[in-house]
Amino acid sequence: MKKSRRSFLKAAGVSAVAIGAAPAIKAVAVASGGAATNASAAVKSRKTEALSAHRWGMVIDTSKITEEVAEAVVEACRKAHNIPDFNHEPDQEKYPDTRPVDHKQEIKWIWEEHYQHAFPEMEDEFLAEKFRQLPFLVTCNHCKNAPCVQACPTKATFKREDGIVLMDFHRCIGCRFCMAACPFGSRSFNFRDPRPFISEFNPDFPTRSKGVVEKCNLCAERLAKGLQPACVEASEGAIVVGDLEDPESEVRALLNENYAIRRKQELGTEPSVYYVM
Amino acid sequence: MLEIAIKGSKKYWIWLGALLTVMAVAFAVYIDQFVNGLMITGMSRDVSWGFYIANFTFLVGVAAGGVMVVIPYYLHDYERFHRITILGEFLAVASLIMCLMFIVADLGQPTRMLNVLLYPTPNSMLFWDMCVLNGYLFLNIVIGWKVLEAERNQIQPPTWTKPLIYLSIPFAIGIHTVTAYLYCGLPGRGFWLTAILAPRFLASAFAAGPSFLILLCYIVRKTTKFDPGWEAIQTLSKIVCYALIANVFFFFCEVFVVFYSKIPGHMAHIKYLFFGLHGHGALVPWMWTSMILMFMGIGLLVVPKFRSNETLLPFTCILIFIGTWIDKSLGMISGGFVPNPLHHVTEYAPTFKEVVISLGVLATGLLILTVLFKLATTVKEEVRG
């Protein structure tokens, strides 16, 4: 069952590329030079335009994340994945009688935090004020030993061979055990139908129904088409993704040249997201 | 045997009618939740489990508490528990059904719940919890029914029930151990990440379960001609006493480890519960109430004069039941989620609708309990009569 679903996903990705994505990729590559160089950092498989890796990882250069960049990244992710915005006024005709929102029940895939919340165990009373105010982008760490994968009772959350922790929104029963298990608070639950709060539908990615959990998928659907993740494209070079296990990759080059930390490293979940300080 | 349940006094029917009314109202509210999602609850991104899972956890304890009459009677031939063993088993049945209903009420996609069976995942503790809960439920239904039927026909229960009875003992310990494992194996949730959690769950279960059973014995004695026996009640109250002391002792072990080691991620939760954190302290009065109630319970049970006071004992049991409920339901679940892994404080309080749905589950459990107890007591009256 597991095997067949995964091979189906793979096949679906391949055929999507074969059918119509290839010209689009070229267009994007031409349009954004920066993204294209990043793309070359990751291994491209021979037969398709899909980007692949032995273990996907992300390096965030904290010095390049300004308030504007952070906002652009969050917004790009929201648009790419049809993430509801609870500040969005629902269309009265399409969604009459929408009940008021509870902002505590919002959905977040990647968002801004301050240092003391991104790294709560490293709180330091003498930390310079300028670091306290810096925006840190936090998201799913696609942990090597992911507690959420271990906790899920239906394998709706699973780990792909390339290290990406993915979710099957149609299998999730909404028990939220994964949310309790995640030590990074990276998961969100659809307490309500998210569709009234999506301002601009992206037809390339499914919307979710109420009652399922969701989180960052490292833009697996874009990688399959040879595209860089939406956050990388919007980050003006501050976020790089690539193969952690390839010593020649751009992410490894960044880790070689800079001091980088991971969130809650002491828990042993082996996060794949690094922060260059 | 089931025909006994449809022959009852006027009071019996009024009681069942009242429970059915609560169930009907709660079901209507549940339809709202089913259609609109868990948005109707007070749960949030940060506190992703609430009142349902809290009550589930507590009731697993009440169900496991039934074993405190099974062990003395079946393993130690303690004859005085002969009359109430069936009550303990039927209490377990009703509690387990409530547990399963609370789990289903908590699911975001209840129609997909069979995915747990379709894609069995042994590395998930929820999978094992489902196995032991259903297993223990099945065992108690079969054992309770067969033993009662045999009593009615005044014959020995079939021999094959014996191994099932012995099997039900590790299952009782198992349901609460695995339920504790749901929480205590999660990295980054400092409040739950402690090996004492499963023993503490069991200790509070063996206090809450039998103290509820004592209350039920009082009710049975008042409403039927069947007398569970004062000595059985006294033995139960001693069990409650020991278990309650163990629960409080385990809690203090935890408090010592946390506050002597001073690891912030572990201290924050207990600070939040008992003193408040960053100006948030909704649970502070509750937690202190719980502590006071449990200490009062210990005092009233340790001293023989109070323990053997027939008028006082039910009140003592009510104190203990409420105290352990706050400790394990309200505190244990919210306490684990506040502060969240990023050390933000988001508080939780159940909504009115959430409470009504929970009351509906409780009413269903009480309905089942009433019918089962009606069967048990009527059979015992018949036999003695």
- Measured CA to CA, the distance from residue B197 to residue A5 in angstroms comes to 38
CB contact under 8 A, A191 and B37: yes
Residue numbers in A near B100 (CB within 8 A): none
- Measured CA to CA, the distance from residue A23 to residue A10 in angstroms comes to 20
- Measured CA to CA, the distance from residue A118 to residue B344 in angstroms comes to 10
Domain ranges within chain B, ordered by starting residue: 2-384
Q: What is the DSSP letter of B50?
A: -
- How near does any CA of chain A get to the CA of B187, in Å? 6
| Cα–Cα nearest to A254, from A265, A240, A264 | A240
- Measured CA to CA, the distance from residue A275 to residue A259 in angstroms comes to 8
Interval B179-204 mean pLDDT: 95
Write the DSSP assignment of B86-155 as a string of letters: HHHHHHHHHHHHHHHHHHHHH-SSGGGTTHHHHS--TT-HHHHHHHHHHHHHHHHHHHHHHHHHHHHTTS
- pLDDT tens digits, residue range A221-247? 999 999 999 999 999 999 999 999 999
User: Partners of A113 in the beta sheet?
Assistant: A136
- pLDDT tens digits, residue range A12-45? 544 544 444 444 444 444 444 444 444 444 555 4
Write the DSSP assignment of A132-183 as a string of letters: HHS-EEEE----TT-HHHHH-SSSSEEE-TTS-EEE-TTT-----HHHHH-T
- pLDDT tens digits, residue range B205-245? 999 999 999 999 999 999 988 889 999 999 999 999 999 99
- Alpha carbon of A49 to those of A81, A215, B175, B176: distances in Å? 21, 25, 51, 51
User: Partners of A241 in the beta sheet?
Assistant: A58
- Measured CA to CA, the distance from residue A271 to residue A142 in angstroms comes to 6
Domain assignment of residue A54, yes or no: yes
Residue in B41, B109, B116 nearest the CB of A211: B109
Q: What is the pLDDT of residue A8?
A: 53
Please say if the pLDDT value at position B384 is more than 80.
no
Residue numbers in B near A138 (CB within 8 A): 342
Q: Tell me which residue range forms the domain holding A75.
A: 2-88+103-144+219-276
- Alpha carbon of A181 to those of A77, A163, A184: distances in Å? 24, 18, 9
Domain assignment of residue A202, yes or no: no
- Is CATH 1.10.645.10 the right assignment for the domain spanning B2-384? no
A199, with CB counted inside 10 A (0-12, 13-18, 19+), is: middle
Interval A49-55 mean pLDDT: 91
Structure ipTM? 0.92
CB contact under 8 A, A150 and B343: no
Q: What is the pLDDT of residue A12?
A: 52
- pLDDT tens digits, residue range B102-135? 999 999 999 999 999 999 999 999 999 999 999 9
- pLDDT tens digits, residue range A95-115? 998 999 999 999 999 999 999
| Cα–Cα nearest to B82, from B202, B226, B222, B215 | B226
Residue A247: alpha-carbon gap to chain centroid: 23
- How near does any CA of chain A get to the CA of B70, in Å? 32
CB contact under 8 A, B36 and A192: yes
Q: What is the pLDDT of residue A229?
A: 96
CB contact under 8 A, A268 and B118: no
Interval B312-322 mean pLDDT: 97
Residue numbers in A near B188 (CB within 8 A): 147, 182-184, 264, 267
Q: How confident is the model at residue A127 (pLDDT cuts 50, 70, 90)?
A: confident
Q: How confident is the model at residue B246 (pLDDT cuts 50, 70, 90)?
A: very high
Q: Which residue has the tokens 């377990």?
A: B92
**pTM of the predicted model as reported, rounded to 2 decimal places:** 0.90
- Measured CA to CA, the distance from residue B13 to residue B244 in angstroms comes to 36
Q: How confident is the model at residue A7 (pLDDT cuts 50, 70, 90)?
A: low
Total domains, chain A? 1
B34: nearest CA partner in chain A: A211
**Which are the contacts of B192, defined by CB distance < 8 A and separation ≥ 6?**
B183, B184, B186, B336
CATH code assigned at A238: 3.30.70.20
pLDDT above 90 coverage of chain A, percent:
74
CB contact under 8 A, A189 and B113: no
- Token pair, residue B212, equals 């509820």
Please say if the pLDDT value at position B150 is more than 50.
yes
Residue numbers in A near B116 (CB within 8 A): 153-154, 173
Q: What is the pLDDT of residue A29?
A: 42
Q: What is the pLDDT of residue B17?
A: 97
- How near does any CA of chain A get to the CA of B48, in Å? 7
Please say if the pLDDT value at position A6 is more than 70.
no
- Token pair, residue B55, equals 């009550």
Indicate the pairing of strand A213-214 with strand A188-189: antiparallel
B348: nearest CA partner in chain A: A104
- How near does any CA of chain B get to the CA of A156, in Å? 9
Residue A111 contacts residue A137 (beta carbons within 8 Å)? yes
Indicate the pairing of strand A260-261 with strand A239-243: unpaired
CB contact under 8 A, B107 and A150: no
Q: What is the pLDDT of residue A181?
A: 96
- Measured CA to CA, the distance from residue A211 to residue B35 in angstroms comes to 10
Burial B94-122 (b: 16+ CB within 10 A, else e): bbbbbbbbbbebbbbbbebbebbeebebe
Indicate the pairing of strand A273-276 with strand A56-61: parallel
Residue A76 contacts residue A232 (beta carbons within 8 Å)? no
CB contact under 8 A, A120 and B341: yes
Domain assignment of residue A50, yes or no: yes
- Token pair, residue B193, equals 């990440």
Q: What is the DSSP letter of B158?
A: P
Domain assignment of residue A174, yes or no: no
- How near does any CA of chain B get to the CA of A196, in Å? 13
CB contact under 8 A, A172 and B49: no
- How near does any CA of chain B get to the CA of A218, in Å? 20
A113: nearest CA partner in chain B: B342
Interval B193-197 mean pLDDT: 95
- Measured CA to CA, the distance from residue B379 to residue B1 in angstroms comes to 9
Residue A33 contacts residue A64 (beta carbons within 8 Å)? no
Please say if the pLDDT value at position A1 is more than 80.
no
**Which are the contacts of B178, defined by CB distance < 8 A and separation ≥ 6?**
B125, B128, B129, B132
| Cα–Cα nearest to B320, from B210, B202, B201, B217 | B210
Residue numbers in B near A179 (CB within 8 A): 45, 48
CB contact under 8 A, B346 and A104: yes
Q: What is the pLDDT of residue A277?
A: 85
CB contact under 8 A, B343 and A104: no
Residue in A147, A181, A212 nearest the CB of B108: A212
Residue numbers in A near B189 (CB within 8 A): 180, 183
Interval B351-374 mean pLDDT: 96
Residue B23 contacts residue A196 (beta carbons within 8 Å)? no
- Measured CA to CA, the distance from residue A189 to residue A109 in angstroms comes to 11
- The three-point CA angle A234-A12-A17 to 5° equals 55
Q: What is the pLDDT of residue B41?
A: 96
Q: What is the pLDDT of residue B7?
A: 85
Supply the mean pLDDT for chain B: 94
In total, chain B counts a number of residues equal to 385
- pLDDT tens digits, residue range A161-184? 999 999 999 999 999 999 999 999
Q: Where are the alpha helices (DSSP H) in chain A?
A: 2-16, 22-31, 33-41, 67-80, 115-118, 129-133, 147-151, 177-181, 220-223, 230-234, 250-257
Distance in angstroms between the alpha carbons of the first and the last residue of chain A: 43
In the A/B pair of chains, how many CB contacts fall below 8 A?
Answer: 157
- Token pair, residue B315, equals 């009140």
CB contact under 8 A, B112 and A210: no
Domain assignment of residue A112, yes or no: yes
